Amino acid sequence: MSHDHDDHDHDDHDHRPPQPDDPVSRYEALEQALRELLIEKGVVTADGLRRTMEVLESASPENGARIVARAWSDPAFKELLLQDGQAAVASLGMGPTGRFVVVENTPERHNVIVCTLCSCYPRFVLGFPPAWYKSRDYRARVVHEPRAVLAEFGLKLSDDTEVVVSDSTAEIRYMVLPQQPPETKGWPEEKLAGLITRDCLIGTAVARA
Amino acid sequence: MAAFRVGDRVRVRTNDPPTHMRTPAFLRGKVGVIERDQGPFGRPEDLAYGRAPRVGTVYRVRFRQREVWPDYRGGPRDTVAADLFEHWLDREAS
């Protein structure tokens, strides 16, 4: 990777991204030792770990988009989703998710998700969180000045809108059910799903046609 | 048996034990309202150390932002919700 460094000098390291066969770092060595011990002691199996990684890496915001598109199209599904998120998601063949709660945006209320203590995120549905979601800046600020943070994402909310921040402090994972743009009523689910981005599911954006 | 019902007012304990916990500092001492019973979960204070966990109800508790942050800028109806373990909550007179 090459770029100019006119403003600062750092011969002590390069900016090459880590390569798969680089020498192991301290933390990689620690992870490897721990993993081998857990397998050796029968706490987990290598195949179990592999399968978990496979599920995590195949999860993506597209799952969330499918869930939302179904909820917009099917009132009974929407009711189940808001009452019992994990059952609703299982009925679409996704999961298991652990305890999964979906919070609904309405004309009066806007929801946004954070984990102030670490980076809890519904990974089994949406995959890995974006880097900013794990940043201290987002985590500290969105609970204290959500409107300012959302404005930085380009989302200006009216003073009349109630802002609800959900802090994922325990084992419950959250997803936002965005509002359906009114002009998309009656669209097929596949087309609706195309409107729903990852940020809509975290609450830092709204769905637009 | 769940200790609280939806709508009950609770205050988060101000303890600061030298242990692993999942109760954020910014909510300790604050008063909120029980919004949802999330069901039984093992205590993080036990699980983090490999002990058989004591199990208790976790509640989603909603706090008015103006109660949490005296300098809060935003609507008076804005809230923050967190999932808190029952052993961190005391009943508050309504």
The whole-angstrom distance between A95's CA and the closest CA on chain B is 18
Lowest mean pLDDT among A16-20, A74-78, A99-103, B20-24: A16-20
Which of helix, strand or coil describes residue A77?
helix
Q: How confident is the model at residue A11 (pLDDT cuts 50, 70, 90)?
A: low
Mind listing the pLDDT tens digit for each residue in A120-152?
999 988 999 999 999 999 999 999 999 999 999
Kindly list the residues from chain A whose CB atom is less than 8 angstroms away from the CB atom of residue B60.
101, 166, 172
What single DSSP character describes residue B27?
A: G
Same domain? For A164 and A104 the reply is yes
Do A93 and A47 lie in one domain? The reply is no
pLDDT band at A5 (very low <50, low <70, confident <90, very high): very low
Are B10 and B31 within 8 A, CB to CB? yes
Within-domain flag for B28: yes
A45 and A128 co-located in one domain: no
Put simply, whether B36 touches A (Cβ < 8 Å) is yes
Q: Is residue B53 part of a domain?
A: yes
Beta bridge partners of A177: A104
Residue B63 φ/ψ, nearest 5 degrees: -120, 140
Q: Do A177 and A122 meet the contact criterion of CB atoms below 8 Å apart?
A: no
Q: Is A106 in the same domain as A83?
A: yes
Of A2, A25, A73, A118, the catalytic one is A118
On the question of pLDDT at A117 being above 70, the answer is: yes
Give residue A8's pLDDT: 52
Dist CA A98 CA A20 (whole Å): 31
- What pLDDT, in 10s, does the model give residues B27-70? 999 999 999 999 999 999 999 999 999 999 999 999 999 999 99
A124 lies in the same domain as A75: yes
User: Active-site residue A118, yes or no?
Assistant: yes
Q: How many domains does chain B have?
A: 1
Q: Which residues of A fall within a CB distance of 8 Å from B77?
A: 162
Written in H, E and C, the secondary structure of A116-177 is CCCCCCCHHHHCCCCHHHHCHHHHHHHCCCHHHHHHHCCCCCCCCCEEEEEECCCCCEEEEE
Question: Would you say residue B2 lies in a domain?
Answer: no
- Same-domain pairing of A151 and A163: yes
Mean pLDDT score across all residues of chain B? 94
Which of these ranges, A91-100, A119-128, A197-206, has the smallest mean pLDDT?
A91-100
Residues on chain A touching B74 (C-beta within 8 angstroms): 145-147, 163
CB B63 within 8 A of CB B30: yes
| Gap between the Cα atoms of A21 and A153, Å rounded | 37
Structure-model confidence comparison of residues A4 and A169, the more confident one: A169
Average pLDDT of the segment spanning A70-92: 96
| ipTM score of complex | 0.95
CA distance A165 to chain B (A): 5
pLDDT higher than 70, residue A21: yes
Mean pLDDT of the A171-179 span: 96
Does residue B25 contact residue B83 with C-beta atoms inside 8 Å? no
Task: Collapse the DSSP code of B75 into the 3-class scheme (helix H, G, I; strand E, B; otherwise coil) and give the result.
Answer: coil
* A13: in domain: no
d(CA A153, CA B27): 26
Domain range for residue B45? 9-91
Q: Do B79 and A163 touch (CB under 8 A)?
A: yes
Q: Is residue A161 within 8 angstroms of chain B, CB to CB?
A: yes
Model confidence at A186: pLDDT above 50: yes
CATH code of B50's domain: 2.30.30.50
C-alpha triplet A179, A127, A77: angle, nearest 5°: 40
Chain B CB contacts of A170 under 8 Å are 22, 38, 41, 44, 58, 83-85
Phi and psi angles of residue B70, each rounded to the nearest 5 degrees, phi first: -60, -25
User: What pLDDT, on a 0 to 100 scale, did the predictor assign at position A4?
Assistant: 46
What are the tokens at B2? 């769940």
Q: Which domain holds residue A130?
A: 60-202
Whether B23 and chain A come into contact, CB under 8 Å, resolves to yes
pLDDT digits (tens, 9 = 90+) for B13-28: 998 888 898 999 999 9
A119 as an active site residue: the answer is yes
- Contact with chain A for residue B69, Cβ under 8 A: yes
- Which listed residue (A58, A115, A166, A168) is catalytic? A115
Q: In 3-state terms, what secondary structure has residue A178?
A: coil
Number of Cα atoms under 13 Å in the Cβ half of residue A77: 15
Tell whether A7 is covered by a domain: no
